[in-house]
Chain A
Amino acid sequence: MKMAPQDVKPTRSELLEIKKRIKLTQSGYKILKMKRDGLILEFFKILEEAKQIRGKIQKDYDDAMKKATIAEAVDGAIAVHSAAFARRSHPEISLRSRNLMGIVVPKIDATLVKSTVDQRGYGIIGTSTYIDEATAAFEKLVETMVQAAEIETTMKKLLDEIEKTKRRVNALEYKVIPELKESESFIQLRLEEMERENTFRLKRIKNKATARAAAEAAAAMA
């Protein structure tokens, strides 16, 4: 539990300890501030990519849905459904990780996303080009989504780290360092006060001793 500045022991060793802690905290604060700035720079680098990929997803999705609707209208829902259930190849995702300023971010790769007509598993004669076009459009959408997953996850992780670092920087700047400084000045004031009290006490003792010596001298004279 954190102690109030008045709860610390007003001793020289405690003052030295607090001074050491202030120095350490200030260097930690500077490092965290640099980390926060570095993370924000990385974030801005990725932001443009994220905006572009979001636009691409939207475009690919609209295109794919349009083509699927046309395929259903021309060939009928049953033909589209049977083509969908006949698919042989299935997209697979591999997740690796990489380090970005101390944050582990994913590197996502996908295999078997795009396929040729003969790899799709449904008959060429029984289906129309509209189904092929819709399939190709959805394969393109899946590919874009895999790219977006990597970028958006990196962005989410960066944002979490930025928030965490910001909170730490603020805690050091507005709470920890001011409290330590307050404790430091409290101990300094207390030590000065104790020194003044001591000087005063010594002076009184000296005065008393002088007075006693004078009294004794006077008594001897009489």
Chain B
Amino acid sequence: MMEFAVLGSEEFTLGFRLAGVRRVYAVRPEEYEAKLLELTEDSTLGILAINSSDLTTVSAHGRRKAMENISPVVIQVGGEEDDLREKVKSAIGVDLYKSESD
């Protein structure tokens, strides 16, 4: 059995506590990247939920490492999944997420 974890601000993580998530990490922005990389190495986690807007503070290397991680799977909420979109673009050669309005 693996666990569900959440990383982000106090405001972001509170709701997940209500849903019964035990592994909740409310960190300050300056500690965010180190904690994110630490959690992506944690084999007891199955899914790690993060806020898309927090990812803007993470370095390109850290971001790529976190988003390409499979165990735990890092899921962004509260915004677009730009990393997956970029991955699709580079592998297929076409932006398949592009809507007609874009």
Taking beta carbons and an 8 Å cutoff, which residues of A are in contact with B?
Answer: 40, 43, 47, 50-51, 54, 57-58, 61, 64-65, 68, 80-81, 83-85, 87-95, 106, 108, 110, 112-113, 115, 120, 131, 134-135, 137-139, 141-142, 145-146, 148-149, 152-153, 155-157, 159-160, 162-163, 166
**Are B18 and A87 in contact (CB-based, < 8 A)?**
yes
B58 to chain A, nearest CB (A): 18
Question: Could you say which residues of chain B place their CB within 8 Å of the CB of A149?
Answer: 46-47, 73, 75
**Tally of chain B residues near chain A (CB < 8 A):** 32
**Are A93 and B84 in contact (CB-based, < 8 A)?**
no
User: 5 shortest A-B CB distances, which residue pairs?
Assistant: A93-B46, A84-B17, A138-B19, A149-B73, A159-B91
**Are B47 and A146 in contact (CB-based, < 8 A)?**
yes
**Are B15 and A91 in contact (CB-based, < 8 A)?**
no
> Is B60 an interface residue when CB atoms closer than 8 A count as contact?
no
Overall SS of chain A's interface: helix
Taking beta carbons and an 8 Å cutoff, which residues of B are in contact with A?
Answer: 1-4, 14-22, 46-47, 49, 68, 70-71, 73, 75, 77-78, 81, 84, 87-88, 90-92, 96-97
Question: Could you say which residues of chain A place their CB within 8 Å of the CB of B88?
Answer: 47, 155, 159
* Bound CA–CA A18/B90 (angstroms): 35
Extra A-B contacts (4), CB below 8 Å, given A162-B91, A163-B91: A95-B71, A134-B15, A145-B75, A149-B47
* Bound CA–CA A153/B47 (angstroms): 11
Q: Closest B-chain residue to A94, C-beta based?
A: B1
Question: Could you say which residues of chain B place their CB within 8 Å of the CB of A137?
Answer: 15
**Are B20 and A91 in contact (CB-based, < 8 A)?**
yes
* Bound CA–CA A145/B16 (angstroms): 12
A-B contact count (CB 8 A): 123
**Are B3 and A93 in contact (CB-based, < 8 A)?**
yes
**Are B81 and A153 in contact (CB-based, < 8 A)?**
no
Question: Could you say which residues of chain B place their CB within 8 Å of the CB of A88?
Answer: 20
A-B contact list, 20 entries, CB within 8 Å = A47-B88, A57-B75, A57-B77, A58-B78, A61-B78, A64-B15, A68-B14, A93-B47, A95-B2, A106-B73, A108-B73, A110-B4, A120-B20, A134-B15, A137-B15, A138-B15, A145-B4, A157-B70, A159-B92, A162-B92
* Bound CA–CA A160/B84 (angstroms): 11
**Are B81 and A54 in contact (CB-based, < 8 A)?**
yes
Question: Could you say which residues of chain A place their CB within 8 Å of the CB of B21?
Answer: 90-91, 142
* Bound CA–CA A90/B18 (angstroms): 10
A16 to chain B, nearest CB (A): 39
Q: Closest A-chain residue to B1, C-beta based?
A: A92
